[in-house]
Amino acid sequence: MTTKRNRKPAKTDNGSVDALPFLEKLTGPLTFGRMMESFRLCDESSQAELARKLAISRQHLCDIEKGRRQVSVERAVEFARILGYSERQFVALVLEDQLRNARLKMKVIVEAA
């Protein structure tokens, strides 16, 4: 008998590891705020530095990172362009946050038209 949990990441159809579901089981769902905080920490930026870059207050950024404030789809696209990241990823997370807040268990897939 073992007391260790099986914490192996799930494999995708092509045999590669799909890390997101594995990480979400450990830390909870990826939210727009958590993503913004992760990008900021990876860039070794302070909240004040990133807030200046995004033309928002440090307090506003803090509220976004902690999930106390939601971001519109338009604002998410603006942030993605400023930071040089995928607009689709930013929009998908904002929409998933909105669905989660409405207590709807749905996954969002965003495709460019």
Tens of pLDDT, residues 35-68: 999 999 999 999 999 999 999 999 999 999 999 9
Any domain includes 79: yes
Structural domain range at position 55: 29-101
Rg (CA), the chain: 16
Q: How many CB atoms lie within 10 A of CB 82?
A: 12
Any domain includes 40: yes
Any domain includes 16: no
Q: Domain with 51 in it: what CATH number?
A: 1.10.260.40
Q: What is the pLDDT of residue 107?
A: 86
Between CA 17 and CA 11 the distance in angstroms is 4
Any domain includes 19: no
Number of domains in the chain: 1
Any domain includes 113: no
Residue appearing with tokens 């990172």: 65
Query: Does the predicted TM-score (pTM) go above 0.85?
Result: no
**Cα 63 to the center of its chain, rounded Å:** 14
